[in-house]
């Protein structure tokens, strides 16, 4: 089968096309013919080796973390899927590899594709939709009337998180460029801060939840806009001990991760708020909940551009250099 993989960690030049044998599905696995995949910042970090201590992948490694496609084979223990089903998924972190023609996915990580979406639209959703769900529903437990700040509202995570927060009944603020003001308002933002001309740290106050997608100084300022008892959940800030425990990391690595987030957690504690790091996990059950929201019209994907499979490297470069106007970059195998 055709794939795009890395044989060593590095920059974009490390990514190359290669032929590999098709995967052999286990008893609980579903073999999926991939029709579309999407590009995420996580792909660049894995390619660069940024997570090599946390996620020790075996090289060569096929890249890609999102997929939509059709079931072509099921394992002997599979009960929820049949050959011919249209499905989508974010595979488990140790079983990635969606920049390929085929992939074997554990049945618990898979969900039926929203009937209202094309394959390209569906492929844009799993990672960012699961991230949004695990931050806002599972982590922050957002309730109607709460005030939620979502950074980078026109980004991959932001476009879905805005819609989910609106569905949950929150008052939603976001940061975005002036060019995307109308888009993020349409997606659910009540307040839009033009990050190029305004300082959200001076304009916002009394928020219950912040979903931080940027880290750095944005994360530092986000602590100041929360009311006492508020929560910052970050997908870009320093990892914490909770994430280390979830990974089952060695005690020394757990201590190192805890040290990385020490300053942020200390500042949060002084303000009477909390900080946590989120590295989303695969979940077919949560994807099924999101499928219902999509088919009901509560959430829609935002796709910036679709590249053919033969231009996977170009698709990654386009996304990595920030050429995306809003939403996700998708790779179409068919």
Average pLDDT, the chain: 95
Can you give the residue ranges of every domain in the chain? 2-125+301-332, 127-277
Per-residue pLDDT tens over the stretch 130-157: 999 999 999 999 999 999 999 999 999 9
**CATH of span 2-125+301-332:** 3.90.180.10
Which residues pair with residue 16 across a beta bridge?
5
Per-residue pLDDT tens over the stretch 32-87: 999 999 999 999 999 999 888 778 899 999 999 999 999 999 999 999 999 999 99
Per-residue pLDDT tens over the stretch 73-106: 999 999 999 999 999 999 999 999 999 999 999 9
Q: List the 61-62 sheet strands across, edge first.
A: 15-19, 2-6, 61-62
Residue of 83, 108, 104, 107 lying closest to 31 (CA atoms):
104
- Identical fold for domains 2-125+301-332 and 127-277, yes or no, is no
pLDDT on residue 249 = 66
Instruction: Cite the beta strand spans of the chain per DSSP E.
Output: 2-6, 15-19, 29-39, 61-62, 67-74, 86-89, 102-106, 110-112, 147-150, 171-176, 191-194, 207-212, 226-234, 274-277, 303-308, 328-332
The matching CATH number, chosen from 1.10.238.10, 3.40.50.720, 2.60.40.640, 1.10.275.30, for 127-277 is: 3.40.50.720
Q: What is the C-alpha to C-alpha distance for residues 317 and 329, in angstroms, rounded to an integer?
A: 10
């Amino acid at each position: 089968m055709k794939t795009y993989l890395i044989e060593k960690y590095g920059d974009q030049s490390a990514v190359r096309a290669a032929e590999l044998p098709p995967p052999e599905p286990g008893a609980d696995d579903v073999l999926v013919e991939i029709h579309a995949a999407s590009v995420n910042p996580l792909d660049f970090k894995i390619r660069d080796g940024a997570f090599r201590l946390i996620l020790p992948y075996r090289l060569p490694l096929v890249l890609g973390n999102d997929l939509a496609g059709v079931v072509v084979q099921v394992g002997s223990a599979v009960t929820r899927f049949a050959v011919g089903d249209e499905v989508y998924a974010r595979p488990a972190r140790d079983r990635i590899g969606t920049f390929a023609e085929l992939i074997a996915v554990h049945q618990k990580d898979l969900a039926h594709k929203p009937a209202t979406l094309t394959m390209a639209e569906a492929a844009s959703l799993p990672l960012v939709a699961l991230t949004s769900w695990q931050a806002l529903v599972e982590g922050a437990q957002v309730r109607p009337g709460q005030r939620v700040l979502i950074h980078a509202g026109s980004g991959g995570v932001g476009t879905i998180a805005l819609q989910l927060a609106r569905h949950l009944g929150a008052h939603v603020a976001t940061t975005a460029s002036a060019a995307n003001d109308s888009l993020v308002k349409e997606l659910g933002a009540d307040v839009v801060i033009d990050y190029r001309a305004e300082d959200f740290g001076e304009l916002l106050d009394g928020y219950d939840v912040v979903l931080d997608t940027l880290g750095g100084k944005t994360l530092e300022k986000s602590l100041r806009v929360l009311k006492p008892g508020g929560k910052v959940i970050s997908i870009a800030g320093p990892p914490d001990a909770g994430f280390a425990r979830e990974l089952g990391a060695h005690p020394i690595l757990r201590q190192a991760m805890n040290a990385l987030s020490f300053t942020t957690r200390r500042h949060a504690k002084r303000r009477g708020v909390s900080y946590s790091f989120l590295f989303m996990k695969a979940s077919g059950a949560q994807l099924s909940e999101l499928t219902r929201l999509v088919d009901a019209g509560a959430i829609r994907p935002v796709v910036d551009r679709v590249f053919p499979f033969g231009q996977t490297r170009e698709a990654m470069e386009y996304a990595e250099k920030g050429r995306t106007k809003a939403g996700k970059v998708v790779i179409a195998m068919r």
